[in-house]
Structure 1
Amino acid sequence: MGPVPTFSRRLKRELLNMQKELPAGIHIATADDLSTWEMDLEVLDQNPIYHGKTFRLRFKFGKNYPIEPPEVMFVRTADREIPMHPHVYSNGIICLDLLSTGHGWSPVQNVESVCVSIQSMLTGNTKNERPEGDSQFVMTPMRSVRDINFVYDDPTV
């Protein structure tokens, strides 16, 4: 038997740390294997759009994690909906530079920090709407979230 791949060691360590303690409003829903985890996320402030709601995030990890970001998206379940947000498409795909290789992702990020960032993104939202072009976007076939080349607004340019 060969050495344990880096992503396996890293994910096992992350899961162990998260089982001990997670920030308020973030809970492990499933983490039965090292390729896919689901996390439940609550917005803890009094944001009227999300008050009392819990959302589910699905993380899919590739062999190059943590060098490459996991694929992260909201998923609909029997008791979880996909949040209305200007950066969340109705199919659950999230437009967030943190989740993109070459943009905001860094190997120091982890599942917990991604959850906290998305929780913060929801907390700050004041618009109960989908991104522009949502209906057309969700009709476009794709193999993977990684196939999407989002264009991010950079106010410093």
Structure 2
Amino acid sequence: MTSSSAPSRKALSKIACNRLQKELTEWQVNPPTGFRHKVNDNLQKWTIDVTGAPGTLYENETYQLQVVFFPPGPLHPHIYSNGHICLDILYDSWSPAMTVSSVCISILSMLSSSPAKERPADNDRYVKNCKNGRSPKETRWWFHDDKV
């Protein structure tokens, strides 16, 4: 999964393509609750509809995700207005054992645990610094708040 605004930096290896194809097949058979994959012809660009879980601030709201949220992304203390997500499993804590489904479930869990719909305190500064297509992978994230 890559950002739609950034060109692919390199072609995926055959192993990576096989893994993504396997995950896509598994997704089609047993999609995680609250998610819908939008079919396209590019294994590197999965577009996923995320629907807020019942009983949460985001209940019945639907957002589009491609590792970053498409505008308008949800108001959340860890989601910037440009769609970048501050979640450790997307960066420092990512592991090859994680699947697209497990990452999506983690993002929905992060949304579901939020007590308020608000942007990160440093949203304006961060977004301004991301002008000209800066990728969230180029950010040195500080994962200090695991309550939301």
TM, length-normalised to structure 2:
0.83
Other-structure match for 1:148: 139
Kindly report the root-mean-square deviation, in angstroms, between the aligned alpha carbons of the 2 structures. Answer: 1.6
Equivalence map 1:19-98=2 (5 Å): 19-47=28-56, 49-58=57-66, 72-76=67-71, 81-98=72-89
1:98-133 per-residue CA deviation (whole Å, 9 max, x = no partner) reads 000xx2111000110010000111111111110111
Other-structure match for 2:3: none
Post-superposition shift, 1:9?
0.6
| 3-state SS in 1 of match to 2:80 | coil
| 3-state SS in 2 of match to 1:15 | helix
Post-superposition shift, 1:29?
1.6
8 Å CA contact 2:54–2:60 kept in 1: the answer is no
| 3-state SS in 2 of match to 1:40 | strand
In structure 1, what residue type is equivalent to 2:28?
Q
Give the total of aligned pairs. 132
Any unmatched runs of 5+ in structure 2? 1-12
Structure having the larger proportion of residues in strand: 1
Post-superposition shift, 1:137?
0.9
**Corresponding position: 1:127 with 2:116:** yes
* Greater relative contact order, per chain length (Cα 8 Å cut-off, separation 6+): 2
8 Å CA contact 2:51–2:62 kept in 1: the answer is yes
Post-superposition shift, 1:51?
2.0
Tell me how far apart the structure 1 counterparts of residues 136 and 82 of structure 2 sit (CA, whole Å).
11
1:30-85 per-residue CA deviation (whole Å, 9 max, x = no partner) reads 342122110111122211x3122011111xxxxxxxxxxxxx11012xxxx31010
- Report percent identity of matched pairs: 36
Post-superposition shift, 1:154?
7.5
Tell me how far apart the structure 2 counterparts of residues 109 and 136 of structure 1 sit (CA, whole Å).
31
In structure 2, what residue type is equivalent to 1:98?
I
In structure 1, what residue type is equivalent to 2:104?
C
Post-superposition shift, 1:143?
3.2
| 3-state SS in 2 of match to 1:27 | strand
Tell me how far apart the structure 2 counterparts of residues 115 and 126 of structure 1 sit (CA, whole Å).
20
